[in-house]
A = this chain, B = another copy of it.
Amino acid sequence: MSSTEIARRIGNVSERSVRYRIDRLIEEDVIRVRAVVNPKTMGFAVMADIFVEVEPGHVMEVAQKLAEFECVGYVACSTGERDLSIQVYARDNEELYRFVAEVIGNVPGVRRTTTVFVPLLLKHNYEWQIPDSACVDG
């Protein structure tokens, strides 16, 4: 979304003041400007959610260990049936499976993994815009 579009959307605001506010938002760490890689164009055609069950009391150290792997793009603590939820990118299904079975499965504290392939992505977090209002109203 360009500064012009933002200006038009908010209304009654010059493009220049929009640019000024964006600079302040970056300073205040509200937004960050990032180069986002498109994994498909890099040959990483396959993506999956891996739900990881961990030995109780070791969730944090396993989470930090998993976040260090380069092909792991997302690590979150989860509150459902599984302790951690991560996303893995790979060139094909077999490479992905072997990474989960042979690398993640051997991280100390990992007790069980469930792999769920994500064959189609419709909306990604980095496209997320600031909602005008609370969810339930709009």
Q: Report copies per complex.
A: 8
Contact indicator per residue, chain A 9-47, by CB within 8 Å of chain B (1) or not (0): 000000000000010000011111111111101101110
- Given the interface pairs A73-B125, A117-B93, A125-B87, the reply to whether A136 lies near B57 with Cβ below 8 Å is no
Decide: B35 and A33 in contact? CB cutoff 8 A: yes
Nearest CB on B from A55, distance (A): 8
With A35-B33, A73-B123 as contacts: A99 and B136 at CB distance below 8 Å: yes
Complex Cα gap A124–B81 (Å): 21
Question: Is A74 a contact partner of B125 (Cβ separation < 8 A)?
Answer: yes
Q: Would you call A75 an interface residue if the criterion is a C-beta within 8 Å of the partner chain's C-beta atoms? A: yes
Chain B residues with Cβ below 8 Å from A73 are 123, 125, 128
**A76 CB to nearest chain B CB (Å):** 5
**Other-chain contact of A116, B80, B96, B128 (Cβ < 8 Å):** B80
Given contacts A90-B134, A125-B74, contact A79 B48 (CB under 8 A): yes
For A110, give the chain B residue with the smallest CB separation: B56
Q: Which residues of B contact A93 (CB under 8 A)?
A: 46, 93, 117, 119
**Interface pair A97/B71, CB less than 8 Å apart:** no
**A69 CB contact (under 8 Å) in B69, B75, B100, B135:** B135
Within the complex, what minimum Cβ distance (angstroms) separates A117 from chain B? 5
